[in-house]
A and B are shown apart, each in its own frame.
Chain A
Amino acid sequence: DAKTTQPPSMDCAEGRAANLPCNHSTISGNEYVYWYRQIHSQGPQYIIHGLKNNETNEMASLIITEDRKSSTLILPHATLRDTAVYYCIVRVGRGAGGTSYGKLTFGQGTILTVHP
C-alpha cells in the first residue's frame, strides 16, 4: 500500500470549512483514497473514499488531484463535534494480489481541533 503524509495537527474555527491535506505520491492506479476519523476513545468512523473523481457525501467532500498524488478532505462547516484525529489511507485495490482482503493501514493522522 502507498504511504501517506499528513500534517500532525490543524486548527479550524467553528462554522468554517476545514481542509485537511494528504500526500500520497506513490499511489498506484488501482489504489483508493479513504478517509476515516477517530474521536477520542471511540472506534474509527468511515467518512468518504474515492479513486480519481471528486466525491461528496453528507459528511464531507474529497478532492483528488488529477495526478492522484494528493487529496484534500473538506468538512464544509466544521463543528466542535468534528474535533478528532483524521486518517488518510491509501488502500490496495482489487486484483493487486496477496490476501489483504481490504486491510486498512492507519498512520498517525491529523489532529483537527475545532475552536468556538
Chain B
Amino acid sequence: GENVEQHPSTLSVQEGDSAVIKCTYSDSASNYFPWYKQELGKGPQLIIDIRSNVGEKKDQRIAVTLNKTAKHFSLHITETQPEDSAVYFCAASRDSFQKLVFGTGTRLLVSP
C-alpha cells in the first residue's frame, strides 16, 4: 500500500544553521506533498506544500524540492531559530483524494 518514509527521526542544529528533512513515497500516482509543523499540544500546521507540476517552491526561510523520478521530496529550513523547534511531518496524497499519507515525523531541536 501507500507508504511515506521520513528521515531523520531527530535533528539537532545550532541557531542559524540549515536543516534538511527528507521523505520518500511509494505511490507513483501521488501528486500533492504538504509539510506540517506540530508543536506540543497543538494540531499540525501547514508550513508549505508542493504539487507535482512544480520542482521547487520557496517561502522565506522554507523551501521544498520534489524529484518525481526518484519519488522523494525534501524540506529545507535556512537560518533556523529556536521557535522552529517542533515535530515536522511530510505527507503525500493522490489527485482528487483528501487522504494524506504521513511520514513518521522529524523532531527538530534548534539550540540557541
Real binding pair: no
Residues of A within 8 A of B (CB): none
Residues of B within 8 A of A (CB): none
